[in-house]
Chains A and B, each alone.
Chain A
Amino acid sequence: GQQLNQSPQSMFIQEGEDVSMNCTSSSIFNTWLWYKQDPGEGPVLLIALYKAGELTSNGRLTAQFGITRKDSFLNISASIPSDVGIYFCAGERNDMRFGAGTRLTVKP
């Protein structure tokens, strides 16, 4: 099946630090997406990437669609306490599949 390997599983960082997480797969995807999920809520779309090599920013967030179409990364710059949550990568071809998530903790 379409397995997405997301790393790291969890991160504990100091407020103001930059964060990087990534996702790899053995399958090719047409679209890569990054979502954030807060407790008791559904995932919220942060960034969507539609072309291999595409680099897209959304405020302090930057994500890239890998050139092989099998990977993507998400960077968060100058982290703040409200960045706390679980970040999921998702790849879409015929349907959308998710990674296992990266749990981010930001210490003030």
Chain B
Amino acid sequence: DAGVTQSPTHLIKTRGQQVTLRCSPKSGHDTVSWYQQALGQGPQFIFQYYEEEERQRGNFPDRFSGHQFPNYSSELNVNALLLGDSALYLCASRMVENYGYTFGSGTRLTVV
């Protein structure tokens, strides 16, 4: 049983560009959350998607947007990339509330 799958694993972008990261949740999971993890820090909550809608949002600017598809997969889009957006982006999924999330291995984004 595949867990949470993220693509690509690594990405290098230039400042000002736009990026799309993709996530396939674990089979049977319908809720997806995205996190940004800077080096040496804990994951920071970006937003959560359920039933194709953004349900919760952390303290991130509108440059960060997302989408959830009918098959529960999700995308994270970041516009106008800044050097400070360089981080590991983690996708996590779960089936029901109050159960722990399963995390993917992340996408390492480097902005130069």
Contacts and interface: CB of A to CB of B under 8 A. Distances in A.
Interface in B43-95: 43-45, 48, 56, 58-59, 90, 92
A31 interface: yes
Interface residues of B, number: 23
Per DSSP, chain B at the interface is loop
B98 A50 contact: yes
Interface string A17-42: 00000000000001101010000111
Contacts of B92: 42, 96
Contact of B33 (A31, A41, A88, A96): A96
A67 interface: no
B33 A100 contact: no
A96 B41 contact: no
